[in-house]
Structure 1
Amino acid sequence: MQLTADHAEWGRLDVTLDDLGCGRSWEEIHRVRGVELTCPECGGQVHARLSKLDTRHLYHRTKPPSCSLANESLEHHLLKLELVTCARAAGFRAELEVAAPTGEWRADVMVFRPDGTRLMALEAQLSPITVEDITARTGLYERDGVRVCWFGFRPRPWVGAVPTLLVQAPEERGQGWRVTAGLARLSTRPVSWSPVDAALSDAVSWMLTGRIVPHEPLSSARKVTEEGGWGEWAQGWTRSWNDGWRLWWTSPTYAALDAECAREEAEARRRRKAEEETEARRWAIEEKEKARKKEAKDRAYAAFWSRTGLNQQQWRYFRAIAELFFDLDLVFGAPDSRYGDGRPVYERGGPDGKEWTLVGVACPDPSRLRAWAEDVALLVPSHLDLDTLAGRAWAPFQVYVLNPDTGEMDQERVLPASVRP
């Protein structure tokens, strides 16, 4: 079944129009001898007739196997007829089977602007086609300045890769065609897309008048989870498991709102990234400083053990003797350059044990004694160290000898050489 034909003098005929689109009547071609009509696609002879439901159409006396118009299915025929009817009901001039001058495309329904220029192609796509092919065909329309929408009955691999509406024919008399998927609105609390149920006639009118536009979502509302694919997300409202559905029709207001949400999310991501980078730099600086301090601490310990000649076992005995001798809860710090590379000794006190009081310095470098040596006890492991400190004294020093090898404990107040007897 087809709806258009060519006449040598009258031009293109459209049997869906009362004047056949060329100022002629149905009666002039139906059962009239001598009227030669040809198929716009294959050029074969066609004839006018009425179906059992009194629907006008044209048919090939001999159906050519390669002519798509001659082999058009009833479903395709009815959908195409509904699309042209919807476009005309919206107040637009619409024609069937309009081909490009180059022959690179032929629209099922071509809708025209008031000035006669092509506005939009409405394509009933019911036969199998690849995503690549339908995308290429859409590109040809766009190249020629023609918008396009593809209509189908059920999910296909190409659905949603190009501007698409899925539709449903009436199940009973009196019902109209409906859009089943492809229309959406955007909510902002939270940001999410939801389906819009509409009559096909309304949807066609909206797209022709610019009230809806094809839109690819930009904000995070486009998917349920970061892990979930488009199929998992889109099927929740498009009634399709097609994981290629990335484009649907919505109001320009919603498209603009989605773009604004996307900008806000991009700015939020930028801020988060900047904060993360700042935090990463801070962490890197802290880690570098920790590494520097550890390296300095390791060097200080290595220098301490080398200078004092003590090993770990001797140091443990030295500490035990100090704790026993002073009968205090002592804490020995790391070698500290502020105390002549000796190890500061603190008394731990306070109700929670967090109050530390400096009471002495263990094994300081005699050549690096400063004023602090006059105020705290100096702890050394041998009398030889005591003699060395005595030789450096410029004021009275309180020195404790805690010998880890013998367990000897001794204390002596060392005076400067100038005041010794």
Structure 2
Amino acid sequence: MTLTARHAVRGLLDATLTDLGSAWSWEAVHRVRPRVDLACPECAHRVHAKVSPRGTRYFAHDPGGPNCVMAGESLEHHLLKLELATAIRAAGHQAQLEVRGPGGHWRVDVLSSSPDGAIQMAWEAQLSAITLQEIDERTQRLAADGVGVCWVSTRPRPWHGAVPSIVVTPPPTDDPDWQVAAGPAFFEIEECYVHEKPWQCPLGEHGFWHRLDITLPALVRQVLEGTMVVHQPTEQVLLSDGSWSQVWTSPHHIAVAARFGIAEREGQQRQARESLEWHARKWPDANRVLVQEWQENLPEDAWQALHSAVAQWIRTETGKAPSFRHQWIAWNWACGVPVCVDGRPYGVIHPDPSKVDWRFLTRMVIFVPSDTDRQALLRSAPEGTRVVAFLP
């Protein structure tokens, strides 16, 4: 059975349209004598108009035809294609059934086209078995011609979420619409209930992707309007039939998830940094990592120039030669390089303003590369602290 048939004069007939897509009525082809000469668009074998017990109009192959893919399609397959076409048209787009692409490289169950014809999208009712490689190759062939796709099935499949796809269920007796059981999702931020103590959770909240309850017509409309798009989250999304790497969601939820992801990573980094700093206060070796990271922010040639400038400044100021103690990495030096005169601490070169504890640097001279660094330190420094900037 097929939902389309070809007529020698009127062209392609679509059983889902009132006028068959060619200004012709169904009564003109159904149960008329003499019989209208119609052919299958796929195999060219003769077909005739029929109506199923449920009232679905279609074209059936005459006996003795070839092994045609359309002849083997089930009633469920055709009902789903009909539902997709109906939803597409209700959204204000054109829907063509059983369409072949340029050069015959692909054929789709339903092809939607925007009112101006600029945007096309394939809707594939994939009810038979297919491998992930096959479905991925078909997706790529469509993409090469600028055609997006949504693969639609009625039961769980191994390829779900690996390609743009959804799972649908027929409508219950009290609801006229097909339901989407899996595929669309929304992102929600929830208060942390995992950790007993607030400090154990960087943000105090967690973000999760959840399954979105929606009807098939509503999903089709939102996809065609661009308010729902296919998205690949940073982590697998657990839906009703397994983990999905791609889901359908709104640009708003994509943006919310992205902002939360940034905040979560920053919170984790901050938590790791605070843990490292806590250990660094107690064990100098743990502080070595912080010292190295901070000092690597200043280029090697800048460090050399700064050391030379500090040495000259101290000789002018004290008449004595300073010594630089790079091996001193205790927390109280705030990741800077201690400078000694006559074996006693005299100052610190380029400390990290965020780690300075002025209780340990009282009466020390602070040497920094620029006036920007100088101003950053003076904002928290005790009155009378000497902060000397050398480089422009």
Same fold per superposition (TM over 0.5): yes
| Corresponding residue SS for 2:44 | coil
| Distance verdict in 2 for CA 1:272–1:141, change over 3 Å | farther
| TM-score, scaled to structure 1 | 0.59
For 2:132 and 2:286, locate their aligned partners in 1 and report how far apart those are by CA, in whole Å: 46
| Distance verdict in 2 for CA 1:104–1:270, change over 3 Å | farther
Contact in 1 for aligned 2:43/2:66 (Cα 8 Å)? no
The equivalent residue for 2:106 is 105
For 1:123 and 1:193, locate their aligned partners in 2 and report how far apart those are by CA, in whole Å: 25
| TM-score, scaled to structure 2 | 0.63
Query: Deviation at 1:58?
Result: 0.4
Which protein shows a greater Rg? 1
For 2:102 and 2:145, locate their aligned partners in 1 and report how far apart those are by CA, in whole Å: 11
> 1:17-416, aligned counterparts within 5 Å?
17-32=17-32, 33=34, 35-62=36-63, 64=65, 66-172=67-173, 174-189=175-190, 190-218=206-234, 222=235, 230=236, 234=238, 238-241=239-242, 243=243, 245-267=244-266, 282-283=287-288
Residue by residue, what CA displacement relative to the aligned partner does 1:144-181 show, whole Å, maximum 9, x if unpaired? 11121111112111011111111110232544211111
| Distance verdict in 2 for CA 1:119–1:209, change over 3 Å | same
For 1:191 and 1:49, locate their aligned partners in 2 and report how far apart those are by CA, in whole Å: 52
| Corresponding residue SS for 2:102 | coil
For 2:64 and 2:216, locate their aligned partners in 1 and report how far apart those are by CA, in whole Å: 32
Contact in 2 for aligned 1:63/1:71 (Cα 8 Å)? no
Query: Deviation at 1:270?
Result: 6.2
| 1:29 alignment partner AA | V
Query: Deviation at 1:10?
Result: 1.0
For 1:262 and 1:247, locate their aligned partners in 2 and report how far apart those are by CA, in whole Å: 17
**Structure 1 unaligned residues grouped into runs of 5+:** 223-229, 291-337, 339-421
Query: Deviation at 1:207?
Result: 0.7
The equivalent residue for 2:15 is 15
For 2:248 and 2:55, locate their aligned partners in 1 and report how far apart those are by CA, in whole Å: 35
Contact in 1 for aligned 2:184/2:247 (Cα 8 Å)? yes
For 2:262 and 2:175, locate their aligned partners in 1 and report how far apart those are by CA, in whole Å: 46
| 2:257 alignment partner AA | D
For 1:202 and 1:63, locate their aligned partners in 2 and report how far apart those are by CA, in whole Å: 41
Query: Deviation at 1:276?
Result: 9.0
Query: Deviation at 1:262?
Result: 2.9
| Distance verdict in 2 for CA 1:248–1:281, change over 3 Å | same
| Distance verdict in 2 for CA 1:2–1:257, change over 3 Å | same
The equivalent residue for 1:5 is 5
| Corresponding residue SS for 1:249 | strand
| Corresponding residue SS for 1:102 | helix
Identity across aligned pairs (percent)?
A: 44
| Corresponding residue SS for 2:104 | coil
Residue by residue, what CA displacement relative to the aligned partner does 1:175-230 show, whole Å, maximum 9, x if unpaired? 42111111111112321111111111111111111111111112xxx4xxxxxxx4
Contact in 2 for aligned 1:121/1:149 (Cα 8 Å)? yes
Q: How many residues align?
A: 273
Contact in 2 for aligned 1:49/1:58 (Cα 8 Å)? yes
For 1:42 and 1:170, locate their aligned partners in 2 and report how far apart those are by CA, in whole Å: 33
| 2:145 alignment partner AA | D
| 1:126 alignment partner AA | L
For 2:54 and 2:233, locate their aligned partners in 1 and report how far apart those are by CA, in whole Å: 44
Query: Deviation at 1:53?
Result: 3.1
| 2:74 alignment partner AA | S
Contact in 2 for aligned 1:110/1:118 (Cα 8 Å)? no
For 1:129 and 1:107, locate their aligned partners in 2 and report how far apart those are by CA, in whole Å: 15
Contact in 1 for aligned 2:45/2:66 (Cα 8 Å)? no
| Distance verdict in 2 for CA 1:191–1:106, change over 3 Å | same
| Distance verdict in 2 for CA 1:156–1:49, change over 3 Å | same
| Corresponding residue SS for 2:58 | strand
Contact in 2 for aligned 1:39/1:46 (Cα 8 Å)? yes
For 1:6 and 1:65, locate their aligned partners in 2 and report how far apart those are by CA, in whole Å: 17
For 1:214 and 1:63, locate their aligned partners in 2 and report how far apart those are by CA, in whole Å: 43
CA RMSD of aligned residues (A): 2.8
For 1:67 and 1:268, locate their aligned partners in 2 and report how far apart those are by CA, in whole Å: 59
